[in-house]
């Protein structure tokens, strides 16, 4: 007879974070697009000094992150929790939904 393991008896899995190749970037602009297979995030920096002035807004794109829809859903859940804690400490962030 096959040995069936109890799923509740699994060992805890730990994650070892290797930051040897990590890079840090700053972004104050983000855009998102997606298909059935992937979600793409575009990060950049707004170079327009007077955003209220007429004319185009200039953004230097610096990074593109491509994720699966499942990884994006997990990121959404994590960010929702982080922002909930942030706003409980520092006040609600008002965002213009243009």
pLDDT digits (tens, 9 = 90+) for 20-79: 999 999 999 999 999 999 999 999 999 887 767 777 888 999 999 999 999 999 999 999
Higher pLDDT, 34 or 6: 34
Q: Looking at the DSSP assignment, which residues form a beta bridge with residue 67?
A: 39
pLDDT value for 56? 84
What pLDDT does residue 95 have? 86
Answer yes or no: is pLDDT of 4 > 70: no
Tell me the DSSP string of the chain.
---PPPGGGPPPP------TT------SEEEEEE-SS-EEEEEEEE--S-TTSSSPPPEEEEEEEEE-HHHHHHHHHHHHHHHHHHHHHH-PPP----
pLDDT at 57: 85
Instruction: pLDDT band for 16, please (50, 70, 90 cuts).
Output: very high
């Amino acid at each position: 007879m096959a040995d069936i393991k109890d799923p509740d008896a699994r060992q805890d899995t730990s994650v070892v974070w290797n930051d040897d190749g990590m890079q840090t970037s700053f972004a104050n602009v983000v855009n998102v697009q997606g298909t059935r297979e992937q979600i793409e995030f575009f990060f950049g920096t707004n170079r327009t000094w007077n955003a209220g002035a007429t004319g185009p807004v200039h953004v230097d794109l610096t990074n593109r992150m491509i994720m699966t829809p499942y990884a994006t859903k997990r990121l959404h859940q994590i960010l929702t929790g982080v922002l909930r804690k942030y706003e409980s400490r520092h006040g609600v962030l008002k965002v213009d939904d243009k």
